[in-house]
Amino acid sequence: MIEFKNIRKSFGGKDILKNVNFTIEKGELVILIGPSGCGKTTSLKMINKLITPTSGIISINGEDISKKDTIELRRNIGYVIQQTGLFPHMTVGENIGLVPKLKGWEQNKIKNRTIELLEMVGMNGEEYIDRYPGELSGGQQQRIGVSRAFATNPDIILMDEPFSALDPITRNQLQDELFSLQEEFKKTIVFVTHDMDEAIKLGDKICIMKDGNILQYDNPETLLKNPSEGFVEDFIGKNRIWNKPELIKAKDIMIEDPVTTMAGRTVVQAVGIMREKKVDSLLIIDKQNNLLGIVTLKVLRKEESQGLKLGDIMEKNIIYAEKDESIVDVLTKMDKASIGYIPILDKGKLCGLITKSRLITVLSSQYID
């Protein structure tokens, strides 16, 4: 765990960071983002003591880093920067193995670890280990930079705009690779970027900064749905969440008070309810709000003169979605079953309904806005 407590940093009498407080939990990938000069890179560099605070305490796992040996601290923190930081006169193997060598690893162990790390980022170890950085593309060099950061298996990795100089295709590939690595190894990663799309794609938490202050620190879903008014809302973009539909949950767009009735109602009564409420289907529930079935106007018209109860004719094999399922999954279910509506449940209890007309209404309102 990394904790910033009342951190202030001044340069030439000007406060770059102003009483910054936040905590990064173990295994989280946290994004620091904001306009130029907001203090994000300064905050990152404080974690490995490249910059020292004017006041306040930064602790790692409860230990004040100002009291730790600087060299030993840095050897246990991976660091990736925009320009890769590779030594041009060293081979790929020598670059990756530099810190392990400084820590006294045996040469055979270093070589095996280097090949393992190259394979980890999609590069053939035997093919690239003896090449020089100048013989590699920008994307390959950045892969080497990421490999080197993982070399001694550190718990913490710092990444300062590592992909910003790359072309969009290579950048997207490396983002995907980093996401996969993080899913597997669960490192504590602090990642600086100026790109909100990159932040949303990678971050467990996003810390938005401006003028040395933290304006909002939340997970991407909360940030997109409930941005702070003013700068944060403008910085993110009011409708940006619609560019990440997997973050939109069923509960965010469902009709919260769908028309329901009991199984003991007659067909005639049900038809009356539909006409009154101007709907063409009814959800059947019990007294505890458990979903029992569904009936449509088409079915009711066939049975209207038979004196039947809804419990006798309702469809019991219901396709439904949970309230926390993404709208992408909900749409997939609806499309696969060729249905125009889907009940939304919360632990078995009916809590809403999504219809195709509801989807059209919600989506069109975003584009109109």
The average pLDDT across 345-359 equals: 87
Looking at residue 171, what is its pLDDT?
A: 85
- What is the C-alpha separation between 343 and 10, in angstroms, rounded? 56
Residue 209 reports pLDDT greater than 50: yes
The average pLDDT across 16-27 equals: 95
Superfamily name and number for 251-368: CBS-domain (3.10.580.10)
**What residue has token string 């979605």?**
321
- What is the C-alpha separation between 223 and 232, in angstroms, rounded? 9
Looking at residue 363, what is its pLDDT?
A: 64
Amino acid identity at 360: I
Confidence of residue 240 (pLDDT cuts 50, 70, 90): low
Confidence of residue 346 (pLDDT cuts 50, 70, 90): very high
Is there a common fold for 2-244 and 251-368? Answer: no
Looking at domain 2-244, its CATH architecture is 3-Layer(aba) Sandwich (3.40)
Of the candidates 247, 188, 193, the residue with the CA atom closest to the CA atom of residue 220: 247
Residue 256 reports pLDDT greater than 60: yes
Residue 261 reports pLDDT greater than 90: yes
Mean pLDDT of the chain: 88
Which residues, in sequence order, are CB contacts of 293 under 8 Å at separation 6+?
263, 283, 284, 310, 311, 314, 315, 316, 318
Percent of the chain at pLDDT > 70 equals 94
Residue 297 reports pLDDT greater than 50: yes
Looking at residue 239, what is its pLDDT?
A: 62
Q: Domain ranges for the chain, please list them.
A: 2-244, 251-368
Looking at residue 142, what is its pLDDT?
A: 87
Contact criterion met (CB below 8 Å) for 213 and 18: yes
